[in-house]
Copies of this chain bind each other. A is one copy, B any other.
Amino acid sequence: MRSDLDRLMADRNLEALFIVGGGHVPNAPRTYLANGINVNGLVVKKRGDVAIVISHPMEIEEDRHSGLTCLSLQDFGWAELVQQAEGKRTKAEIALWGRILERLAIPPGKIGVYGVGDIHVYLEFMKLVAQAHPDNQFVGEMGTTLFDAAYATKDETEIARIRSVAQRTNAVVSAAWNFIGEHRADDEETVIKADGSPLTIGDFKRFVRRNLLDVDLEDTDMIFAQGRDGGFPHSRGQADMPLKLGQAIVFDIFPRELGGGYHHDMTRTWSIGYATDAVQEVYNSVMEAFDVGVEMTRAGQPTYRPQEAVLDYFEREGHATVRTQPGNNEGYTHSLGHGLGLNIHERPSLHHVLREDTFQRGNVVTIEPGLYYPSRGFGVRIEDTFYIDDSGQLVDLTTFHKQLVLPLNGKD
């Protein structure tokens, strides 16, 4: 949780955080420190103090929307530093870091450097900063970082935003269901538009993206994969493929607030007009697995438990799994879910091998069992996003129904 940051910094002996990266790029650590607003400047947080933004004069008006104190580069004598560096920007930037350390009275010791941006630049820049300012050690972090640990539990403000994204995403999925339903099929079981031309996956995605924008969300490369494509969990689907009756379609949508912000994540499997017995049978198993997973997810449980329960269930039903046949691409081939927030994948991980996490109040997690049979020409996945409330119970944020067969109501 955001309020844990000072403790997490102390655990790591970090005197300050410097959040680097380019402007106008989603940068979760920066947005997290700036009250959920995607600012452009360098964000600096000294342990025990609130974060501040150091902005280019041209960006400072925008950065002020974060509510953080925004200082201009000029407040640190940027023009003078550039002059002293004889126009060499890198040299001026290295000196700027020194002025920031001095002005914020950051003590000697470790500084955590985080952010999203050009990796090649910072691999070299941080070496030069370290040489110029030897009283401080500038360190990155791998594995479960300070931010990963903080992201894992959401505060009330974050839950409110995540709930709003969920409501809007569900409304768009509902509109998308109705959109397909308004069409009709031709004699070859192709879904067609009023003019007789096929309705394609590209047409469908365009409809969904427009509807997301209308509620200030942006698509982040949704999956709408029909038939065999749905048998590969991350296949996006082919834009020029017409929708067909009786084919399983995996529709996985995980939009975020426009410009970089909180996500929702949900998957439905639809079969237009009718479902084959083979798809219906696998669908029923996935729905059963979903309920098994939900049943095992609550505060205090280790996060591997629901995955183990789902593995047990699928294996009893005779499906290959990631536990019995690792690396296989048929059966249940992935983990049960993941946390999400500013990032689409966060802690906790609902994985049977990683056994580090326990469900906590404030977790936001997906539960998403699936069965994949590319050899049989289809896959099925069902996914809702939940949060764990103050009483430790799961609250389902994904309210859209889980009907498999999408009937066509279009007139001939």
Which residues of A approach B to under 8 Å, CB–CB?
20-21, 24-26, 29, 57-59, 61-62, 74, 79, 87, 90, 112-126, 139-143, 145, 206, 209-210, 213-214, 218, 220-221, 232-236, 259, 326-327, 329, 333-334, 344, 353-354
By beta carbon, the residue of chain B nearest A260 is B221
Q: How far is the CB of A408 from chain B (nearest CB, A)?
A: 24
Question: Is the beta-carbon distance between A57 and B329 smaller than 8 angstroms?
Answer: yes
Docked CA distance A301–B201 (Å):
48
Known A62-B235, A206-B214, A221-B259; contact A140-B113, beta-carbon cutoff 8 A:
no
The listed residue (B112, B124, B142, B232) touching A121 by CB distance below 8 A is: B142
Known A119-B21, A221-B259; contact A142-B210, beta-carbon cutoff 8 A:
no
Docked CA distance A62–B236 (Å):
7
Known A61-B235, A234-B58; contact A112-B120, beta-carbon cutoff 8 A:
yes
Docked CA distance A280–B63 (Å):
31
Can you spell out 5 A-B residue pairs with CB atoms less than 8 angstroms apart?
Answer: A20-B119, A24-B344, A25-B26, A58-B334, A218-B218
Report B-chain residues with C-beta under 8 Å of the C-beta of A139.
Answer: 123-124
Q: How far is the CB of A110 from chain B (nearest CB, A)?
A: 13
Q: How far is the CB of A144 from chain B (nearest CB, A)?
A: 11
Known A122-B123, A126-B123, A214-B206; contact A79-B140, beta-carbon cutoff 8 A:
no
Docked CA distance A57–B333 (Å):
11
Question: Is the beta-carbon distance between B114 and A140 smaller than 8 angstroms?
Answer: no
Docked CA distance A236–B65 (Å):
11
Report B-chain residues with C-beta under 8 Å of the C-beta of A29.
Answer: 120
Report B-chain residues with C-beta under 8 Å of the C-beta of A327.
Answer: 57, 74, 79
